[in-house]
Amino acid sequence: MISLFYSLLLSAVSGESQQDRTDRDMLAPWLKFVWESYKQCLDLLKNNNRVEKIYQEVAQMGFRFCQTYNRRTEFRRLCDTIRTHFQQSQKYSQQTYSVNIQLPETQALHLDTRLLQLDTAIAMELWQEAYKAVEDIHAFTTISKKTPKPQQLASYYNKVALVFWKAGNYVFHATTVLKLYVLHKEQKKNITHAELIRLSTKACKYFFRLEREFQRQPESFCFD
């Protein structure tokens, strides 16, 4: 009875429920501990070809953790950490056990992690981080000369188109939709005529939208 009265009194004064206080007192320290564990593991495993698979698995676990518990700040820090580690691996690539980005297995591991990073940013609606993830994937494919598989590339184009749409970059959005149409036309052997019509119509629709946007706000388009 006393505990019930105490709980009601606290709720009236602070606006917090018993569950809110329990989450703050018990869940928050646990989440902080798990996050620090991921961070320390990544720092220990970075740029070592003997444990690079474990490194990528921990990074992917970190992304899922951030999404599950909606840890936006930690997600941004995780992205920055992985980005820094990748830059360091390029800087110290001549060391004995450094990660060799030209190996197919290493490229596949990195690409899977980067695509999950993009997926997580979109799921959490962190559009700035999603844009950075697109830049990271582009930089990675440029350095490694690794072209994603057609299925991965199609999924990537769909996500990039969404990011550009959210950012208001309608030119890039329309271009990405067009590249998706070309990819399906060239790579998908069993594509139906109806699906090609649907994809081409979608691309045309967004290019027509560009024309209307240009007529309405020509100053927002830069052709330099």
Percent pLDDT > 90 in the chain is 42
pLDDT for the residue 194: 84
DSSP for 29-73 reads HHHHHHHHHHHHHHHHHTT-TTSHHHHHHHHHHHHHHHHHTT-HH
pLDDT for the residue 181: 84
Residues 6+ apart with CB under 8 A from 92: 47, 98
Domain segments of the chain: what residues? 17-147, 148-224
Q: What is the mean pLDDT of the chain?
A: 83
Residues of the chain short of pLDDT 70, as ranges, are 1-25, 207, 210-224
Residue with tokens 């019509």: 197
pLDDT for the residue 72: 95
Q: Write the pLDDT tens digit of every residue in 48-69.
A: 999 999 999 999 999 999 999 9
Q: Write the pLDDT tens digit of every residue in 113-155.
A: 999 999 999 999 999 999 999 999 988 888 888 778 888 888 8
Nearest one of 14, 139, 155 to 89, comparing CA atoms:
139
Would you state the structure tokens that stand for residue 198, as one six-digit string?
Answer: 């649907």
Cα distances (angstroms) measured from residue 130 to each of 116, 117, 143, 168: 11, 8, 20, 14
Rounded Cα gap, residues 161 and 167, in angstroms: 10
Would you state the structure tokens that stand for residue 21, as one six-digit string?
Answer: 């206080």
Cα distances (angstroms) measured from residue 110 to each of 29, 46, 55, 73: 31, 12, 10, 22
pTM beyond cutoff 0.75: yes
Please say whether the beta carbons of 49 and 98 come within 8 A.
yes
